[in-house]
Structure 1
C-alpha cells in the first residue's frame, strides 16, 4: 500500500492496536465471573451488580463520543494513556467498594470511561487514517479478532485467578495488566498529531454531525448496533449465572465464554475479509438473523455441557463479527476524518442496548426467577435488526463545496 506522509506502518498499527484491544476487551469479557462472588460477599442482589455493569456500558457509550472527538483531534495516544490509568483505578475500586454506590461509580463510571478510550472506536480511527480503503475492512477484522482472542485468553485466566487468589486480588492483578496498554499506546502515536495540530479535515465537527444524523443509513446502522449490544452483553454477563442456575458446573461457564472468544477470532476475521467483497449490509443482516436462530435452538434443545459448547462456538462466530462491517460502512459512507467520533455515536447506540440487556437480565431475573423473557426479547430483536440493515446505502457521500469547510 502507499502510505500518507508521516503515517504509521500497517504492521505497527495492527500489532499495537490488536494488543490494546486484546487487553481491554479481554478484561471486560470476564466480568460476569464476578457476579456471584461479589453479590454473595457483599450480600447484594444480582440487580445491584447488573445495574453497575449496565452503567458501565452506558458511560462507555457516552464517553466514547468525546473520546472519539479527542482522538480525531489530538491522536489516539493521549486518549489510550488516560483510558489505561482509569481502567486500573476502576478495577481497584471495584475490588474494594463497600457500597452499591461506590461499586457503580468505579465498576460503572471509571471502567466505562476507560473502555471508551481503549477499544474499537479509538483503534479504528488510527486504522482509518493509516491503512488504505482497499484493506480497511480486513484490518478492522484483525482488530476485532484481537478482542475476541482477548476473551479466549483472559476469561479462563480470570476464572483461574478468582479460584486461586480470590476475587479481590484477581481484580488487583487485572489492574496491573491494564497498565500494560500505556507502552503499547506509544506504537499508535501518529507523527502528525505530536504537535497538537491534528490533520487537515474537510469538515468541522458540527458539519460532520449535521451530515450524518439525518442520513437514513446512519440511523439504520445505529439501530442495528443497539441490538448487537443488547444480545452480547446480556449473554456475556448473565450466561455464567444462567448455567449455574441450571445445575451445570462453574467451569462450563468459563469454557463457554472462552469458546465464544475463540470462535469469534474466526468470525470477526472472516467478517472483515468478506467486507472487502460483499456489501456490508448483507453481512450484518445475516449475522443478526443467525443469532436469533442460534438462540432459539439453544433454548429448545436439552441443556447439557455439550449443547452449551456448541451454542458458544456458533454464537462465537457471530459475536463481534458485526464490528468490522459496521465501522467499515461508516468509513465508506462518510470518510475517515471524523471516523472515531462517528463510530463513537454508533457505538453509543450499541451501549444503550448493552445497558438494557444487562440490566433487564438482572431486573427480570429478580422479579421472575428466570432469564426466559430476556432470551425471547433477544430473539425478536435479532430478527428486527436483520430487516433494518437491508435498506442501508453504502456508497460514499458526494459533498458539494457548500457542505465543506476547512
Structure 2
C-alpha cells in the first residue's frame, strides 16, 4: 500500500488511482527562458522518485510534463536577447532535457508545449465565459472571477473574503496579498506574439495552460498533480478554480508538492551570488548523479540546504557505493541458507515500507547501506541493490570493475587539480583539467 501526503487534504492518505493499475500523473514543467538551476533539479528528481515508486509497485504511469513556451518572463528575456520567443524556447528546451538525462530522470510520456494548444485553450476560456466564471475586459483580456468560485483558496489556505475580489492582476506571478481576478487571456500589446481569438489578438495567461493539457491527456479528473511548493499559489490554486468551473468535476485527487532548496542557508538568488545552474555541477568536476544522491538524503517535503561540502560528501558516498557494487558483481552465486533468505526478505520489506510511507527515501538509503555492510552473500547484495536502484536511480547497474594503470604524470595533475578545487580556485582547476584531457584522460 502506497501512502502519500496530499497537500489538498493536509494529511497522509492511501494512494488509489482512478483506474486500477494505471496512474495519471501531471507535473508542471519549466518556463524555458534560461538554464535550469539546482531548485529545478531537486523538484524534478523528487517527481522522478515518485514516478519510480509507482513503477516499483507494479503500476503503469502515464506522465505528462508541460513546457511553458509563452510567458511574461519569456517575452521580457526575448527582447533582451533580440530574438523571438519561439527561438528562446527552442534554445532552452534541449538543455532542459539534457539536464533531466544527466540526473537520470525518466522521460515523460508527453512534453506538450503551450503554443501547440492555443485552440484548446481558447475553447476552455469560452466555456468559462459562457458559464459566467470569466468576463471580458475593455481591452479584450479575459479574467477569471474568483468570487464566482466558492471553493477558491482551499489548496493554499487563503480565504476568499480576504481576497481583492473585483480587482484584477495581469501578471502571471503574484503573492497571496495580491489575490484577485487572474488573466485567462491577455490582450495583445505591441511587440508581443499573438493569436487570434473571439476577443481579439492576444495570448494565454499562465495558469490556463495546465488545466487544458492535463484535461487533454489525462481527463477531466486526474490522479495526481505534482509541482514545487512555490507553485501552490497562485498557479495550482488557479488551475483548480478554472478546471473545476469549466468541467464541473474535481480536478485532481492528490496534490504532491516538493520542498524548496536553499543554498548555504539562504534563498537562492542572483543578487546574493548563490544562484547555481545545473551545468555548474559538471563544470566543477562533480558527477550529476552525486547531486541526485544528495537529494536522496532529504525527504521530498522538507526544505533542503545545499552546500558544496555536502555535495562533496555525496560524491564520496556514491563512489563508495559504486565500488562496493562492482566488487559484489564479481562474486559467484552461492546457495543460501534459510536464515540468509529471511534476512534478504527483511531488507526488501524494510526498503518497501520506507518508500511506500510518503516516499521516505532517506530511510530507504539507510537500508541500502545496511545491505552493503551485511553478511549476506555478495552476489545477493548485488541483486538486492540493483532492485532498490529501480527507485533510487543511481545507475548502479552500469558499474564494472576495470583495472587501469594511470601514469604518474596524470596522477600528479589530478592531485594538483584537487588542491585547486579545495581552495576554490576553479579557473586554475579547469586549466589543469584541460591539460589532463589533452593527454587523453578524463
Q: Which has the higher contact order (CA 8 A, sep 6+)?
A: 1
Instruction: Report which of the two has the higher share of helix.
Output: 1
Measured against the shorter chain, the TM-score band is: under 0.3
| TM-score under structure 2 length normalisation | 0.23
